[in-house]
Chain A
Amino acid sequence: QQPVQSPQAVILREGEDAVINCSSSKALYSVHWYRQKHGEAPVFLMILLKGGEQKGHEKISASFNEKKQQSSLYLTASQLSYSGTYFCGTETRWNAGNMLTFGGGTRLMVKP
């Protein structure tokens, strides 16, 4: 069963912040976040492993709450280059070898 992402779409002005959520009905071992621009391949952003860790990458960070089976991606001071569709991919068991189940995506548009 695929994870549920919310919101489905969001429009921001440059410099604004956004949060994208990913929820699963199954216990999660890891959550992978990707950004895909139109006509391009998904680009790896970060991976969060079981343990509730938080990671950051410049102005993009993420958290993983294994008890709630949720992960959130935080985009701060958004830039035009952040536009695209964000996908979370989940693994529900250890040593699944990156067999990811992806959510339906969140479309993010950043306007000047």
Chain B
Amino acid sequence: DAGVTQSPTHLIKTRGQQVTLRCSPKSGHDTVSWYQQALGQGPQFIFQYYEEEERQRGNFPDRFSGHQFPNYSSELNVNALLLGDSALYLCASSLENEQFFGPGTRLTVL
């Protein structure tokens, strides 16, 4: 049983560009959450998708948007990249209470 998968593993972009990150949840999981983890800090909740709708959102600007597909996979889009967006972006999937993280995408903005 494959766990949560994310692509790409690493990404380098320049300020002002746009980026799309992808996530496939653990088999049977219908809820996908996205987190941003800066170096040396705990993950910060960005938003969560359930039944193709954004169910909850953390304190992130509208430059951060997402989508969930009928097969429960999800995308995170970030527009107008800033240097401060450099971080590890984690996707987590859950069915009920337990939440499992993917390996993350390391985004570097130059």
Contact = CB atoms under 8 A, between A and B. Distances in A.
Interface string B39-53: 011111100101000
Contacts of B40: 105
B94 A98 contact: yes
Contacts of B41: 104-105
Contacts of B31: 97-98
Given A30-B97, A47-B98, A100 B45 contact: yes
Contacts of A32: 99
Interface residues of A, number: 23
A99 to B, nearest CB: 5
Given A47-B97, A97-B56, A99-B56, A41 B102 contact: yes
Interface residues of B, number: 25
A23 to B, nearest CB: 14
Contacts of B56: 96-97, 99
Contacts, number: 59
A54 interface: no
Nearest to A49: B97
Contacts of B90: 41-42
A41 B98 contact: no
23 contacts: A2-B42, A32-B99, A34-B101, A42-B43, A42-B90, A44-B98, A44-B100, A47-B97, A47-B98, A87-B43, A89-B42, A97-B31, A97-B48, A98-B92, A99-B33, A99-B45, A99-B48, A99-B58, A100-B33, A100-B45, A100-B99, A102-B42, A105-B42
Interface of A: 2, 30, 32, 34, 40-44, 47, 49, 87, 89, 96-105
